Amino acid sequence: MNLTLALLIITLALSSVLAVVSFWLPQMSPDAEKLSPYECGFDPLGSARLPFSLRFFLIAILFLLFDLEIALLLPLPWGDQLSSPAGTFFWATMVLILLTLGLIYEWTQGGLEWAE
């Protein structure tokens, strides 16, 4: 038995045991007192669950998307050492064009404007 198979068996066994234990453990019964926010012994002044603007999520997703695509371009300076540097730079140019088109699309759709 090789190491990979042993790790797979241990992982599956541990996952199964944890799933069974979590299913058989008694479930907590939430009541109004447990679900209410606690503010140092005082009654809460307002609702603890405030609405959150979806624009924050949109900006975060856009940041992650563009940041990951830029991270793909980080090894580009070593691309000239490959067997076909022209192909590497061609695909890097395609990624930059895709990034630029995505930015233009978001800009024209108003995704980058915060207040309307």
Residue 49 belongs to a domain = no
Domain count within the chain: 1
pLDDT in tens, 37-94: 666 766 666 665 677 778 888 888 888 988 888 888 888 888 778 788 888 888 889 9
Q: What is the residue range of 80's domain?
A: 54-116
User: On the CB side of 92, how many CA atoms lie within 13 Å of its CA?
Assistant: 17
Q: With pLDDT > 70 as the criterion, what percentage of the chain qualifies?
A: 78
Which sign, positive or negative, has the C-alpha torsion 89, 92, 98, 102? negative
Residue 109: which pLDDT band, with cuts at 50, 70 and 90?
confident
Residue 77 belongs to a domain = yes
Lookup result for tokens 């800009």: 107
Residue 87 belongs to a domain = yes
Q: Which residue has the higher pLDDT, 54 or 96?
A: 96
Residue 48 belongs to a domain = no
**Contact of 88 with 82, CB cutoff 8 Å:** yes
